Amino acid sequence: MASEDSSDDSPDGSDEGFNKALATVFAIVFVDLLGFGILIPIIPLYAEHFGANEFVVGLLLASYSLMQFLFAPVLGRLSDERGRRPILLLSLFGSVVAWTLFGVADSLLFLFAARILAGVMGGNIATAQAYVADITPPEDRAKGLGLIGAAFGLGFVFGPALGGIFSSDAVLSFARTSLPAFVPITQFSLPSFVAAVICGVNLVVAAVVLPETRERQEESDDETPSHDRESRLKRLARAFSNPELAGLIASFFLLSLAFSSMESMFVLFTDQQYGFGPEMNGFVLAYVGVVIAIVQGGLVGRLTKRYGERTLALVGVGLELVTLSSLPFSPVIGSYLPSIGPISGGLFVLLFILMPLAAGNGFANVSLTTLVSKSATEDTQGGAFGLTQSAGSIARAVGPIVAGALYAAVAYWLPFVLGGLLMLPIGYVLLTTFQAKGRPIAAD
């Protein structure tokens, strides 16, 4: 547990030890998300390779988020009792096993097993956040936790791009001639093995340089605070007694539901409508990640100071309403446009739509999160953020399943259009609950 003396907040009492520990935790989270991101353009087509339809693809994608939601508090509590270091090392080892199994899978059931294991190990985010809280003084804690958020973003930016590179014909050809013949090299397996190798390297580095920050302790149920024993679902339900916070949590859920639905079916959509494989999808998804990173990392802060959170959130949901609804019709719109060099009219329209879609998501996500902060008291900030993240996790588990069912049973365009329409209730909440500059209206 962190000492009250800030000079002793680092594991070995030195700035060098503090920086090394913080950098290692950053790397752990970044690599986890990098491995996750590498497989984003791979998983839907991999599942189709084994005969899965769009609904089953949605189930496969949702299994990771569901397991992460369920096991994040479990791993967090274990890290309180057994120490942060062993739980983080265990999760890295589990990720190595999961991504290796994913690469050698010979059936859809095998894919599900590997994906579920990866989701369980992905629950280490709570432990990583607790580790940062252990080693940072209160005045630097927001900065430390912000680095964890940055690791998330960077993993989503670079992951799909690496997935595209390692599924390309040139890299596959090189791997087949360089690796032993018994290693199965395909456009699906190679990115999985790369993710496993990256996690393996991270495991070795963490085992060498990551110190423990918390003494092992056994706590009885009576010693466990009631808020720790209470499930996140119960806390989520209880939060709806606060009208402003309830509206924001519901809005965050709908925003995450819409975007995760789009993400889950995007690779299948571009494969069927544009003929994109993992390589091209990887680069397109990386393009989306770069736009989101630029918006969240640079533009949001400046624009918020000038226009306020509510206005920026409204702009974000407005952009997503238009772009999500028009995305599935981009091939039709593009057919009326001439090609620009190697870029077809359809691809030009797709990239044109994806830029404001990504920007809108960045605006809405950050603005809603800030409004949550302003709607909570100082001593309930952490709990409020935890509730929004729980709502987002549930949405990311539900979204791919619902989107897959609609895509397979009704029409390919329906998940995208409905995702756009989900922005309307978010806009209603923002217009009726919040005044200009994002200040909540006082409850009666």
Domain ranges of the chain: 1-212, 232-444
Q: Which residue bears the tokens 């999500």?
A: 324
Are 1-212 and 232-444 equal in CATH topology?
yes
Quote the percentage of the chain above a pLDDT of 90: 40
Which residue has better confidence, 2 or 116?
116
Mapped onto helix, strand or coil, the DSSP state of residue 275 is coil
Q: Each residue of 396-439: pLDDT tens digit?
A: 899 999 999 999 999 999 999 999 999 999 999 999 876 544 44
Q: Which fold has domain 232-444?
A: Growth Hormone; Chain: A; (1.20.1250)
pTM: 0.80
Average pLDDT in the chain: 82
- Measured CA to CA, the distance from residue 106 to residue 314 in angstroms comes to 46
**Residue 361: how many CB atoms within 10 A of its CB?**
26
Which residue has better confidence, 278 or 35?
278
Looking at the DSSP bridge assignments, the partners of residue 434 are 440
What was the pLDDT predicted at 228? 45
1-212 is classed CATH 1.10.300.10: no
Closest of 413, 310, 328, 288 to residue 367, by C-alpha: 310
Does residue 375 contact residue 248 with C-beta atoms inside 8 Å? yes
